[in-house]
């Protein structure tokens, strides 16, 4: 075990911070007790920040994580898992003290990260030609298995019922569906030859099982629609266009749309547009266009509050997070964060006391 002295705190706001549960993408019954926090990585910085959605201010900062990529809160509220690109590790953060308690060495350079609903497994994306998914046992805090995926993995994302983790490959133009109990691939979804899988999210059935997957692809300004039962693509949506003079050409990286999510109540789906510097809303399940909100430069990832009332958009080239009123489809404010913010997640924090982490 190792501890870290790289914790910076904002004393006025650190009372009662401790993680209770993952607010899963498709969890309508997400925990509502405790304190909701937005966990925001800074991909060119050395910290992970916590944003309080009641004040829309950064209230805590976990230091010592250089080039942090993905963030995933633990369901029991004890930890936050962060992929550290500079060290090729998963950094395990104890939430009670906001310190790093262990760094788990990975097979190769990581991208994003996911955690199973029962908290027993963490899945780290390993990028590159020889990449795949590293599986971590959270009781032992050890890497226990590597699953090779063609073209490497950019994002591993859990299905609503946690029965599968889907590994999206930018190099292989496919999504590999991994059974989380068998811990092996069981089927794949192929897209176009040059259409790498970027970001995706899920719609769920009343029993919580997966109904559809919505997938952003390389060079697609929109998203593909996958029928989960049929295991194939059934359609595509193209995001609205704007005049060429208003378009952004910075930081596209082959992903004109990067960031998509269904609201926790299942009523809407929102997508970013890096080209248009906007986020777009559609109704569910009919995918009727609802409207847009202009945000900062290169919106790269999004997360909602559990009540579906607020959306947080990481603006990678503005070093800000846009806060959106979902019902009004209006930007409320922009929060200054670290260098090149990208992945974010929502967690719920119970009252655990003030904490005594090392400063």
Take residue 281 and report the two structure tokens written for it: 């809303």
Percent of the chain with pLDDT over 90: 81
Distance CA 274, CA 306 (A): 25
Unique residue bearing structure tokens 């202009």: 294
- For residue 11, give the 3-state DSSP assignment: helix
Question: pTM above 0.85?
Answer: yes
Cβ distance 71 to 113 under 8 Å?
A: yes
DSSP 210-243: EEEEEEEETT-SEEEEEETTTTEEEEEEEPPP--
**DSSP designation for 244:** G
Q: How far does CA 157 lie from the centroid of its chain?
A: 8
pLDDT tens-place string over residues 239-262: 999 999 999 998 999 999 999 999
- Range with lowest mean pLDDT among 13-22, 46-55, 66-75, 315-324: 13-22
Q: Is the pLDDT of residue 12 over 60?
A: no
Q: What is the mean pLDDT of residues 20-39?
A: 52
Cross-sheet strand order for the sheet of 57-63: 7-9, 57-63, 47-52, 35-42, 341-349, 21-22
* Domain range list for the chain: 7-349
**pLDDT computed for residue 2 by the predictor:** 41
DSSP 185-205: EEEEEE--TT--EEEEEEEE-
Unique residue bearing structure tokens 């092996």: 184
Cβ distance 341 to 68 under 8 Å?
A: no
Distance CA 217, CA 25 (A): 19
For the domain spanning 7-349, the CATH number is: 2.130.10.10
Distance CA 51, CA 65 (A): 17
Distance CA 83, CA 85 (A): 6
Q: What are phi and psi of 301, to 5 degrees?
A: -160, 155
Distance CA 337, CA 128 (A): 29
Unique residue bearing structure tokens 């109904």: 211
Distance CA 81, CA 77 (A): 11
- For residue 8, give the 3-state DSSP assignment: strand
Q: How far is CA 3 from CA 45, 67, 121, 322, in A?
A: 20, 19, 22, 33
Take residue 353 and report the two structure tokens written for it: 């006391």
- For residue 158, give the 3-state DSSP assignment: strand
pLDDT tens-place string over residues 34-47: 688 999 999 999 99
Q: pLDDT-derived band of residue 76, with 50, 70 and 90 as boundaries?
A: confident
- In whole numbers, what is the pLDDT of the chain averaged over residues? 89
Distance CA 181, CA 123 (A): 13
Take residue 327 and report the two structure tokens written for it: 């019902």
């Amino acid at each position: 075990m190792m501890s870290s002295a790289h914790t910076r705190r904002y004393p006025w706001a650190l009372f009662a911070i401790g993680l209770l549960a993952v607010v899963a993408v498709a969890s309508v019954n997400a925990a509502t007790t405790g304190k909701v926090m937005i966990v925001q990585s800074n991909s060119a910085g050395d910290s992970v920040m916590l944003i309080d959605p009641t004040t829309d201010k950064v209230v805590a900062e976990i230091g010592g994580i250089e080039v942090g990529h993905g963030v995933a809160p633990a369901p029991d509220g004890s930890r936050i898992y962060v992929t550290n690109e500079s060290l090729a590790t998963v950094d395990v953060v104890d939430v009670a003290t906001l310190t790093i308690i262990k760094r788990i060495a990975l097979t190769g350079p990581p991208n994003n990260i996911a955690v199973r609903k029962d908290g027993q497994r963490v899945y780290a994306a390993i990028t590159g030609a020889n990449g795949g998914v590293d599986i971590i046992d959270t009781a032992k805090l050890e890497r226990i298995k590597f699953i090779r995926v063609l073209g490497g993995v950019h994002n591993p994302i859990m299905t609503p019922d946690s029965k599968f983790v889907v590994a999206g490959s930018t190099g292989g133009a496919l999504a590999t569906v991994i059974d989380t109990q068998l811990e092996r691939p069981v089927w794949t979804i192929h897209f176009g030859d040059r259409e790498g899988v970027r970001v995706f999210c899920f719609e769920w059935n009343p029993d919580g099982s997966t109904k559809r997957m919505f997938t952003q692809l390389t060079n697609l300004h929109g998203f593909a629609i996958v029928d989960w039962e049929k295991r194939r693509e059934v359609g595509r949506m193209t995001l609205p266009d704007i005049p060429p003079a208003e378009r952004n050409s910075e930081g596209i990286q082959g992903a004109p749309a990067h960031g998509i999510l269904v609201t926790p109540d299942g009523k809407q789906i929102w997508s970013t547009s890096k080209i248009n510097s906007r986020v777009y809303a559609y109704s569910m399940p009919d995918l009727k266009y609802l409207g847009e909100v202009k945000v900062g430069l290169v919106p790269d990832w999004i997360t909602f509050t559990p009540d579906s009332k607020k959306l947080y958009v990481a603006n990678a080239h503005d070093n800000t997070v846009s806060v959106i009123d979902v019902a009004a489809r209006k930007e409320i404010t922009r929060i200054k964060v670290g260098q090149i913010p990208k992945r974010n997640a929502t967690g719920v924090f119970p009252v655990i006391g003030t904490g005594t982490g090392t400063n």
